Amino acid sequence: MNIKGKTLASACFILFLIAALTACGNQAESKDSSQSKSEETITYKAENGTVKVPKHPKRVVVMADDYFGYFKTLGLKVVGAPDRVFKNPYFKGKTDGVTNIGEGNSAEKVIQLKPDLIVVWTTQGADIEKLEKIAPTVALKYDSLNNTERLKDFAKMTGTEDQAEKWLAEWDKKVAAAKSKVQKAVGDKTVSIMQTNGKEIFVFGDQFGRGGSIVYQDLGLKATKLTK
């Protein structure tokens, strides 16, 4: 091979090598970017301390059963929930693909689901430490936030603010459409939200439980004054 031919071959080889290295670099950069994105976390202050929650978690176990609906509303994949969720008629048709973990305090059942986020009540005590070894675990008090605040809080925690805003906008439209009709039907009468267990009578206010925030805050109905 003459000198000109050798030079051309060398040049081609160098160009090929540069292209190959560039491709490898792009693949590595893409892989690193993808890995970085999958490992992105949000720092959340829970009752059990500061927890690094994966942004957009892919497999959530909701052991705090009352919050099951919030995570479904935000479009998150719930892979496990307590038996009470499956007995709730309002969740009928919304538990497909969700595993029943029984009473909701079995770390053994949870670990099999390979969650990347676990949500529990503070009352689950010693079990919280076991769960923290499985995945990021957020412990919550039942009455710390009202319905709307709690949805926004969960959305911020999981990077789903857009989903929450969309749902709340639709909710506001439904409330606006019903409010005047409900107020007209009820008039000046007061409304009480009560429950009995056979021995005691419980009265619910405008913050938590039995739709109190919807009845009194959203729809603007008046509560009956309690007398001692």
Q: Any idea what the CATH number is for the domain that residue 58 is in?
A: 3.40.50.1980
- Return the pLDDT at 217: 87
- Over residues 164-186, the mean pLDDT reads 93
- Domain-located, residue 8: no
- DSSP helix/strand/coil, 225: coil
Ranking 20-29, 147-156, 212-221 by mean pLDDT, the lowest is 20-29
| Predicted TM-score of the model (pTM) | 0.76
- Domain-located, residue 116: yes
**Identity (one letter) of the amino acid at 10?**
S
- Left (φ > 0), alpha (ψ -120 to 50) or beta: where does 193 sit? beta
Which of 19-33, 78-92, 136-150 tops mean pLDDT?
78-92
Flag whether pLDDT at 65 surpasses 80.
yes
pLDDT tens for each residue of 145-155: 888 899 999 99
Flag whether pLDDT at 117 surpasses 80.
yes
**Pairing of β 193-196 and β 201-204:** antiparallel
- Domain-located, residue 28: no
Please tell me whether residues 52 and 158 are part of one structural domain. yes
Range of the domain at 103: 41-163
Please tell me whether residues 149 and 57 are part of one structural domain. yes
Please tell me whether residues 158 and 226 are part of one structural domain. no
- Domain-located, residue 177: no
Q: Which residue is it, tokens 């001692």? A: 228
Q: What band does 208 get if pLDDT is binned at 50, 70 and 90? A: low
- Domain-located, residue 183: no
